[in-house]
Structure 1
């Protein structure tokens, strides 16, 4: 079954919030990963490998992606959505 994703802009132009119709992160704790981390979480690890992604923050059914200032959402967002869909 395909995952449905809703993208919401945030006040920070370098961050977007993506909410899924299923759980992305297990447990009751939030998860935060930076570019040079090696997370065991498969989706977070895949997102951090994308050029332009700086860090990710996730909790249950949503993830916030922060991009590098020089990255462009128009080219990065399709890659982010595909990575989430392929690793959810």
Structure 2
């Protein structure tokens, strides 16, 4: 199995593209920021067994691995490639049955009423169609968390390569905030939720 790799804007994260679905396109990705969180995923748990791995994100058709800054990619990349290839080639499920339900869930327009619901629907639509595909290209994900009506603040959760990326604050403020403010005048600011 050939697995393509791509650098991400986060120098501690690398995107691995196996050329097939990992959890399925269109699915909300699953973030495993610690070895304890990786228990529902045999693949993520196996990746944490590679010395130096500090985070795993399973996307629709990619895996993003984050490493400790003291470890060089040249030393751990072969083990990561082998682990991903072994799991996918053997047909071993990457998530235990029902594990996707344990993933962080996105906020929903159903949590709001009236005009605020319409605003949130616009925000979610923009994130889904314009922001998430671009962020996924960099090995991460961004998910709507909530909207504070009176203040106009949108809270988003950053995952994968985007979590902890040195340029994530600039992306959030300069890119996403400006996009949302342009199309949804009720938005005054965008903030990240850990």
Structure 1 distance, partners of 2:50, 2:16, is 16
Contact 1:34 1:48 in 2 (8 A): no
Q: CA deviation at 1:35?
A: 2.8
Map 1:68-87 to 2 at 5 A.
68-87=68-87
Superposed CA deviations along residues 22-60 of structure 1, whole A, max 9, x for unmatched, are 111247121110233242221111001111000011112
Structure 2 distance, partners of 1:60, 1:36, is 21
Higher relative contact order, chain-length normalized (CA < 8 Å, sep 6+):
1
Of the three residues 21, 31, 35, the one matched with 1:23 is 21
Secondary structure of the 1:55 match is strand
What is aligned with 1:46?
46
What is aligned with 1:33?
32
Of the three residues 8, 11, 27, the one matched with 1:10 is 8
Structure 1 distance, partners of 2:72, 2:50, is 12
Structure 1 distance, partners of 2:85, 2:10, is 24
Give the structure with the higher percent strand.
1
Structure 1 distance, partners of 2:11, 2:60, is 23
Normalising by the residue count of structure 1, what TM-score does the alignment of the two structures yield?
A: 0.87
Structure 1 segments (4+ residues) deviating >4 Å: none
- Stretches of structure 2 lacking an aligned partner (at least 5 in a row): 89-194
Query: Which moves more between the two structures, 30-39 or 67-76?
Result: 30-39
Secondary structure of the 2:43 match is helix
Structure 1 distance, partners of 2:18, 2:82, is 13
